[in-house]
Structure 1
């Protein structure tokens, strides 16, 4: 069992938690800081605890009280559904749970039992009971002095129990979890019975609790975009691929897009992960080339784990078209942008690289997963592109052992943006960040004239098992002369040897992908440290030397950090019909760092 999930099962063990009853008056309505509040008695739906009808046996998605921007099934059985929407100040949640008993819901940065910001509620004899609590260490939740979660509505219906509630993004309460665009773990539980009284809750059991990582503020929404009538789809799918028994496999398949005859815009893409293989399909990257590819390479398959089996005609520079990773869902581009397809300047031939994880070395995994892209002739205002930036995937990215929060950095210099951006710059509307198992935080930083600007993304609670595209609530302008840095924080306390950069999940990565418009030639910008202080002659020999350092010594780890801080970096930028440009530079330190805006909380 996943340790995080095991810890979570304690989080909602509210055996003696105090819960205060909230009665919802008939047809009462008010406003809570700009959020409409509508509550009503549900006594007509409920007779008594003993005479209430059983919940419906259906596993279909329940119907929310109104149209929400986002929804997710939190458990595998479809017994717990969450709907939500947000504005600049609040998030409103609606839970639909297949029970006539109590419902638990909460927020956590790490998915563990504490610190957790939790609520619990149920409907009994027409009265909704609802309470704001928090968890402190491995003990029962405590009632918050400040009740900052506001109940909007509660009822029992054919599906089960519905609770709708809201709270501010920042309640200024130390017992509450501040809601940001970080990855946030939603924690949940429920029981089939109401508690005997408000001072005691029966334990929900092992099967009726869990956690799910979500982007509450920056998830993409289907409801925000209207799908055109002429929408077409093209599936890039494996065909019964027998996954090897190796721990990590990268498998490549090639596809040629049908002749579209005219310009189209791709406006969404979605993963298709074969049922039963969810734990093995880790991520998918779709590549394209800026040159014609011979048709002899159409519809072929090959192992691309180390690149040695790549056909000769498919070697060389290629660019990223799209990416999907575990935990991600369908991505809808904003209504004013689309990725162009169908003209002579657009991709026609794709290589789909699928990363398979098989830690138990199973021999019976057969997979037909892939990506489905959807496109239309109804062109949007802007052509969009994607840029990959971060650390080069190589052993020169080094994470020493025994470190709680070790940071690696990469840098994309201003020369790259000078060469490729239009005079008006580009606007970034979404970001995808990626690291492996040791990653705990990722920040994609933005600099201009020595000053650090607002980061493109800053995830302080990165989750390897949940990697999705972050839709920006406001677009960020990137200009000629700007530069970008990607910082990844790693927890290597339980490692005894260095972890090197590489493609397997036991190695590490640190990358960020920026989606922007208008499309430019620039598609990639990466860097690697040179480690001149260790060995000026060969970076390969440097890596071999570093492997054998005595990493148990704190002085050795401090020395490595000083070497890394003072080294030059190999930097390069490349792209579609764009020559490869290498640079050797030091990391620039901004003269002024970015300061997050102060909230409205009293100091």
Structure 2
């Protein structure tokens, strides 16, 4: 009897925590984006970092099938695609699929997306579903804080077939944390609008100082337009809103430029499948150059920047020779999507820490050397960190010993660095020499240039530390389970009941800690009651 009561109690307690954080069929979603030029494909989404669940809602102007998924940079092959629609008789179909080739869809072995809503009216179809950031299905792409290439497709009937005309890819920061809160501005605040929607926003107790010798003397909005198809009727409403007040916030915001110094000693060989470049920042001279004690600084956001050859980049923090964490990264960088990225939690940088910037390039499409510079056909390796409280340091960047690199490649080096660049330009860039150059750049002593806001420059030196890859978290098993043959309707699709539910039962490891402690305490109390015969 006690065992039966215990099981019953356990089920009741677990049921109390069975409501997860997955958004329901009508929950508001914070983010949205059109995925096509004609605005026929509209995506809304939201996510929960704690439960690692993302919710999508795709609305397409069609009464046929619609699909949404993730693809990579180069090909649709292997893309995952969640597909659904409403049949003429009102029944819905929904399936977790992937692309075998550019045109052929195949159903996954497990259903890792949970349907929350699927409706159709006379002109459009709307599908809302949730999925884990990382499922245990190898056909599903991970949802990460990197640039994600979102793939949307649709048809004019209920027979899913890929069509280039109705397939669109857009680069999006799906896990970006944006805060569009209304500002509580003092009464004497002067507000000047240069119009923007979704403007980047500093933390509540941080602002940009104006009026001191170290402050910006002017503000410029620079916009680069890209309309290669010359599509008519496209209007831009971007801009900024400035709040100017004498009531100062607690901290001044600072911007620190990290990476590789932008001049030709930064080089990338042609024909490289992959080439890694490194720029080191050592902060042990910050206090001396600041002219005042330097306290811990808190990084709240980053902006990552390379040019067209860039494929990924990351900033890694070290303390006392030990790697602490990746401050920010993008392993799927897109030159056409360059926006600041809020960090989930502020990163603390202490005096004496080192920051290493790693950039990954690919130059298979080039038969000429690529050098560091301002032009788009040149390259950069930069990460700007937004931090507070501000200090008198504007940049901290490194570059390799080009004489050492030249010697390692078997060439006769000159004492003039620029002459060595001419020598490197004549190297036969075989895959072996490319790897040799990459290794030499990493092993060479780095010169670190530290620059203050008022243009003072100091040099120091250092060595590139190794980067230990961050272990991936465990995947989430499918809540839908394996798709059986009898579950498919129409052919190749999982049948979906008409009564859709937004509830979700999370695994125990995703319960909040207070819930776990309460559960443990309740079970301990109940066991004690059983032992005493109460």
Q: TM-score, normalised by structure 2?
A: 0.75
Which range moves more in the overlay, 436-445 or 333-342? 333-342
Indicate if the aligned counterparts of 2:443 and 2:464 stay in contact, CA closer than 8 A: no
Question: Over the residues paired in the alignment, what is the CA RMSD in angstroms?
Answer: 3.1
CA 1:210 to 1:416, structure 2 compared with 1: closer, same or farther past 3 Å?
A: farther
Indicate if the aligned counterparts of 2:287 and 2:294 stay in contact, CA closer than 8 A: no
Which range moves more in the overlay, 413-422 or 350-359? 350-359
Q: 2:242 aligns with which of 348, 370, 374?
A: 374
Q: 1:164 aligns with which of 128, 147, 155?
A: 128
Is 1:588 aligned to residue 456 of structure 2? no
- Write the mapping of 1:117-128 to structure 2, written as runs, cut at 5 A: 117-124=80-87, 125-128=89-92
Q: Determine helix, strand or coil for the equivalent of 1:207.
A: helix
Q: Determine helix, strand or coil for the equivalent of 1:589.
A: coil
1:37, CA displacement in angstroms? 3.8
- Write the mapping of 1:76-225 to structure 2, written as runs, cut at 5 A: 76-88=37-49, 89-110=52-73, 112-124=75-87, 125-138=89-102, 140-157=104-121, 160-193=124-157, 195=158, 200-203=159-162, 205-222=163-180, 225=181
Q: Determine helix, strand or coil for the equivalent of 1:563.
A: helix
1:503, CA displacement in angstroms? 1.1
Aligned mates of 1:439, 1:520 — CA distance in 2:
30
Select the structure with the greater relative contact order (CA < 8 A; seq sep ≥ 6): 2
The aligned residue for residue 347 of structure 1 is 216
Is 1:557 aligned to residue 516 of structure 2? no
Aligned mates of 2:208, 2:422 — CA distance in 1:
43
Indicate if the aligned counterparts of 1:451 and 1:593 stay in contact, CA closer than 8 A: no
1:159, CA displacement in angstroms? 6.3
Q: Which one has a bigger Cα radius of gyration?
A: 2
The aligned residue for residue 35 of structure 2 is 74
1:98, CA displacement in angstroms? 1.6
The aligned residue for residue 394 of structure 1 is 263
Aligned mates of 2:236, 2:45 — CA distance in 1:
32
Deviations 1:369-400 (A, max 9, x none): 98534225375443211111111111111101
Indicate if the aligned counterparts of 1:531 and 1:568 stay in contact, CA closer than 8 A: no
Deviations 1:519-541 (A, max 9, x none): 22122111222312333511111
Task: Give 1 or 2: higher helix fraction.
Answer: 2
Aligned mates of 1:213, 1:368 — CA distance in 2:
19
Aligned mates of 2:382, 2:214 — CA distance in 1:
27
Indicate if the aligned counterparts of 2:259 and 2:357 stay in contact, CA closer than 8 A: yes
Aligned mates of 1:452, 1:189 — CA distance in 2:
42
Aligned mates of 1:110, 1:514 — CA distance in 2:
26
CA 1:538 to 1:331, structure 2 compared with 1: closer, same or farther past 3 Å?
A: same
Aligned mates of 2:268, 2:227 — CA distance in 1:
24
1:446, CA displacement in angstroms? 1.1
Is 1:539 aligned to residue 414 of structure 2? no
Aligned mates of 1:170, 1:358 — CA distance in 2:
35
Q: Determine helix, strand or coil for the equivalent of 1:192.
A: coil
Q: TM-score, normalised by structure 1?
A: 0.67
Aligned mates of 1:369, 1:538 — CA distance in 2:
50
Task: Give 1 or 2: higher strand fraction.
Answer: 1
Aligned mates of 1:158, 1:456 — CA distance in 2:
48
Indicate if the aligned counterparts of 1:522 and 1:576 stay in contact, CA closer than 8 A: yes
Q: 1:226 aligns with which of 167, 172, 182?
A: 182
**Unpaired runs of at least 5, structure 1:** 1-29, 39-64, 236-268, 272-328
Q: Determine helix, strand or coil for the equivalent of 1:332.
A: coil
Aligned mates of 1:142, 1:531 — CA distance in 2:
51
CA 1:573 to 1:370, structure 2 compared with 1: closer, same or farther past 3 Å?
A: farther
Aligned mates of 1:537, 1:394 — CA distance in 2:
17
CA 1:382 to 1:129, structure 2 compared with 1: closer, same or farther past 3 Å?
A: farther
CA 1:422 to 1:384, structure 2 compared with 1: closer, same or farther past 3 Å?
A: farther
Aligned mates of 2:365, 2:19 — CA distance in 1:
47
Q: Determine helix, strand or coil for the equivalent of 1:522.
A: coil
1:581, CA displacement in angstroms? 1.2
The aligned residue for residue 21 of structure 2 is 34
Q: Determine helix, strand or coil for the equivalent of 2:402.
A: coil
CA 1:416 to 1:209, structure 2 compared with 1: closer, same or farther past 3 Å?
A: farther
CA 1:227 to 1:79, structure 2 compared with 1: closer, same or farther past 3 Å?
A: farther
CA 1:385 to 1:465, structure 2 compared with 1: closer, same or farther past 3 Å?
A: same
